[in-house]
């Protein structure tokens, strides 16, 4: 099944302000009907990069069977990690990057890799705030979640 996953993250007062993510999943069933699902949540204290990662994670984790996925994000951080093979280097170096510095957000990178594992994913960058309808929708979902009540704790797992 071919699926498009659109994602965006937001953080107010980045870093360590409230933040949120938004994900939109679109697919066309065998009868030609278009299906759309939306996901979002807000967090008390987080960063923009963590929310960009969460959007991609939630979008992929929502898929219940193996799919061919086009994952669209305006996050160079997420897209380049896969398309420019940053992750391969980080993993090879024990989650270290240049100058032997630890990679940030390892907990979410590992979760994203696990979520991606059952799918054939193509990562596609889209320019943010440039009128791309699904990216704009994800931005609304993410910012609305960040500005909402009942915000979650962003627990960083070691």
Kindly list the catalytic residues.
Answer: 8-9, 52, 74, 129, 139
Q: How far is CA 75 from the centre of its chain?
A: 8
Q: Is 8 annotated as a binding residue?
A: yes
Decide if 39 contacts 62 (C-beta within 8 A).
yes
For residue 34, which phi and psi values (nearest 5 degrees)?
Answer: -90, 135
Q: Is 52 annotated as a binding residue?
A: yes
**Block residue for tokens 């953080």:** 11
**Block residue for tokens 């979902």:** 141
Decide if 12 contacts 18 (C-beta within 8 A).
yes
Instruction: Quote the tokens at residue 126.
Output: 């889209």
Q: Is 139 annotated as a binding residue?
A: yes
| Burial readout 136-151 (b: 16 or more C-beta within 10 A, e: otherwise) | ebbbebbbebbeeeeb
Binding-site members are: 8, 52, 74, 139
Binding-site members for Mg(2+) are: 8, 52, 74, 139
């Amino acid at each position: 099944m071919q699926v498009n996953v659109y994602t965006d993250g937001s953080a107010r007062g980045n870093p360590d302000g409230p933040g949120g993510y938004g994900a939109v999943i679109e697919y066309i069933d065998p009868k030609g009907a278009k299906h759309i699902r939306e996901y979002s949540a807000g967090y008390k204290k987080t960063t923009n990069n963590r929310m960009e990662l969460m959007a991609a994670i939630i979008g992929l984790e929502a898929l219940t069977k193996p799919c061919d996925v086009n994952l669209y994000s305006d996050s160079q951080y997420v897209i380049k990690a896969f398309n420019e093979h940053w992750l391969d280097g980080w993993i090879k170096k024990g989650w270290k990057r240049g100058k032997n510095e630890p990679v940030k957000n390892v907990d979410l990178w590992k979760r994203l890799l696990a979520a991606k594992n059952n799918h054939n994913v193509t990562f596609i960058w889209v320019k943010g705030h440039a009128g791309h309808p699904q990216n704009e929708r994800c931005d609304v979902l993410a910012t609305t979640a960040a500005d909402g009540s009942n915000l979650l704790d962003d627990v960083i797992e070691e």
